[in-house]
C-alpha cells in the first residue's frame, strides 16, 4: 500500500464538500483549528453552494474535487461532511495526477465511497476520521480531533478499549478496510466494491432500521465479504430504529449472528463512526488487532 506524505507546518490542505451541503459557520471552527496546527486552509470554490440537499451540482462538486486532487501543493483533502452524494461523482474523477502526488483523503460516512474506490484501484492509504461538521468550537480539543492530528502528522496511533460481552477473542493482522455499512452495501457489484479477503473489516452505521442492518449483513455474507476476514471491528451503531412489531435483536446481535460460524476476532462499540468518539483509522494500513483481556488495535 502507498502512504501519502505526512503533513508538516506550512502545508496546504483543502476543505471540500463532495456530498451534502454545509455552511461557512459549520466549517469555520475547523478552519481555525487547522490554522492553529500551522496549516494553510484552502476552500473549494463551490464548498458552500447549495443544490437542494447537495453542496452544489454534481458538476460543481466534481470540479472542486478534481482541482484539489490535481493540485500538487495540496497535501490533504478534508471532506467537510458526509450525507449523500459522493457516489454521483466518483466515476468521473481522474486520479492520474493524484497518484503522481498522493495526498490524504479524510472523512467518514458517505466518504466511504472515496475510501473504497481508492483502496480498490490505487492501493493508497486514506483516513476514516472526524470531519469539520463535527468540530464545533467547544469540542476542538476532543480525542477524535487529536487522533486526526496525530494521523495527519505521522504520530503513533494505537487504541485500546475494554472488552465487551459480545466481543469474540482472538488476534489477526491485515490491511484495514471498510467504513459505513450502508455505503459498503450500496457499492456491491460496482467497480468501487472492496475485496475483504484476508483483511480487517471496519463497519459502522447510523439511523438505520434494524431489519435494514440484517438485510445488509446477509448480503455481505452471501457475497463472501465476511467469510475470510482476519478480524471484524464494529464501530458505533448509532440511533437505530425499529418497526411497530420489533425486529427482536439489536444491531450488535444481528452482526453476531451473521458472523457466528467464522473464527476471527470481533469487537463491538469501537470508538469509530457516528458516535461520541470517532478515532482516526488509517484505511489501507496493515494493523494488528487483538481481542483478549482488552481490545487492542495498533497501526
Q: Residue 20 has which C-alpha cell?
A: 451534502
In terms of Cα–Cα distance, which of 117, 127, 123 is closest to 92?
A: 117
Q: Please give the CATH architecture assigned to the domain spanning 158-298.
A: 3-Layer(bba) Sandwich (3.50)
Rounded Cα distance, 110 and 276, in Å: 18
The CA-based diameter of the chain, rounded to the nearest angstrom, is 56
Q: Please classify residue 216 by burial: count the beta carbons closer than 10 Å to its beta carbon, then call 0-12 exposed, 13-18 middle and 19+ buried.
A: buried
Q: Exposure pattern of 64-83 as b/e (b: 16+ CB <10 Å)?
A: bbbebbebeebbbbbbbbbb
Contacts 24+ apart (CB under 8 A), 63-67: 64/16, 64/17, 64/18, 65/16, 65/18, 65/89, 65/93, 66/93, 66/94
Nearest to 287 by CA among 249, 215, 242, 230: 230
Residues annotated catalytic, as ranges: 109, 204, 274
Nine cell digits for residue 211: 431489519
Residue 299, CA distances (Å) to 21, 140, 230, 272 in order: 33, 24, 15, 15
CB 42 within 8 A of CB 75: no
Q: Would you tell me how many other CB atoms lie within 10 Å of the CB of residue 154?
A: 12
The whole-angstrom separation of Cα 287 and Cα 178 is 13
* The three-state (H, E, C) secondary structure of 186-206, written as one string: HHCCCCCCCCCCCCEEEEEEE
pLDDT at residue 121, rounded to an integer? 97
Q: Would the CA dihedral through 52, 55, 57, 58 be positive or negative?
A: negative
Domains 12-135+144-153 and 158-298 share a fold: no
Buried b (16+ CB within 10 A) or exposed e, 230-258: bbbbbbbbeebeeeeeebebbbbbbbbeb
**How far is residue 65's CA from residue 217's CA, in Å, rounded to a whole number?**
31
Give strand pairing partners of 105: 77
How wide is the angle at C-alpha 21 spanned by C-alphas 15 and 23, nearest 5°?
70
Q: Which CATH class is domain 12-135+144-153?
A: alpha beta
Contact between 109 and 82 (Cβ < 8 Å)? yes
The values of phi and psi at residue 200, to 5°, are -95, 120
SS3 214: helix
> What string of pLDDT tens digits covers the 299 residues of the chain?
999 999 999 999 999 999 999 999 999 999 999 999 999 999 999 999 999 999 999 999 999 999 999 999 999 999 999 999 999 999 999 999 999 999 999 999 999 999 999 999 999 999 999 999 999 776 556 999 999 999 999 999 999 999 999 999 999 999 999 999 999 999 999 999 999 999 999 999 999 999 999 999 999 999 999 999 999 999 999 999 999 999 999 999 999 999 999 999 999 999 999 999 999 999 999 999 999 999 999 99
* For the chain, domain boundaries: 12-135+144-153, 158-298
Amino acid at each position: 500500500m502507498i502512504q501519502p506524505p505526512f503533513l508538516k507546518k506550512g502545508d496546504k490542505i483543502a476543505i471540500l464538500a463532495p456530498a451534502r451541503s454545509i455552511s461557512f459557520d459549520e466549517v469555520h471552527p475547523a478552519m481555525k483549528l487547522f490554522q492553529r496546527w500551522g496549516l494553510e486552509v484552502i476552500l473549494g470554490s463551490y464548498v458552500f453552494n447549495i443544490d437542494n440537499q447537495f453542496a452544489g451540482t454534481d458538476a460543481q462538486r466534481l470540479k472542486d474535487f478534481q482541482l484539489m486532487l490535481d493540485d500538487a501543493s495540496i497535501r490533504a483533502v478534508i471532506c467537510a461532511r458526509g450525507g449523500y452524494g459522493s457516489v454521483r461523482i466518483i466515476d468521473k474523477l481522474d486520479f492520474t495526477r493524484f497518484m503522481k502526488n498522493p495526498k490524504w483523503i479524510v472523512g467518514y460516512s458517505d466518504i466511504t465511497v472515496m475510501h473504497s474506490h481508492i483502496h480498490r484501484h490505487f492501493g493508497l492509504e486514506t483516513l476514516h476520521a472526524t470531519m469539520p461538521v463535527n468540530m464545533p468550537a467547544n469540542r476542538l480539543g476532543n480525542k477524535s480531533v487529536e487522533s486526526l492530528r496525530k494521523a495527519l502528522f505521522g504520530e503513533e496511533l494505537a487504541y485500546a478499549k475494554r472488552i465487551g460481552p459480545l466481543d469474540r477473542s482472538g488476534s489477526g493482522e491485515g490491511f484495514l478496510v471498510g467504513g459505513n455499512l450502508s455505503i459498503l452495501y450500496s457499492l456491491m457489484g460496482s467497480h468501487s466494491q472492496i475485496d475483504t479477503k484476508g483483511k480487517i473489516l471496519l463497519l459502522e452505521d447510523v439511523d438505520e432500521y434494524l431489519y435494514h442492518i440484517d438485510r445488509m449483513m446477509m448480503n455481505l455474507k452471501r457475497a463472501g465479504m465476511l467469510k475470510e476476514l482476519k478480524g471484524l471491528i464494529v464501530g458505533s451503531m448509532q440511533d437505530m430504529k425499529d418497526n411497530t412489531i420489533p425486529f427482536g435483536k439489536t444491531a450488535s446481535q444481528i452482526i453476531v449472528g451473521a458472523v457466528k460460524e467464522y473464527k476471527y476476532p470481533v469487537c463491538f462499540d469501537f470508538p469509530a463512526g457516528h458516535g461520541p468518539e470517532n478515532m482516526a483509522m488509517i484505511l489501507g494500513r496493515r494493523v494488528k488487532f487483538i481481542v483478549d483481556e482488552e481490545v487492542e488495535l495498533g497501526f
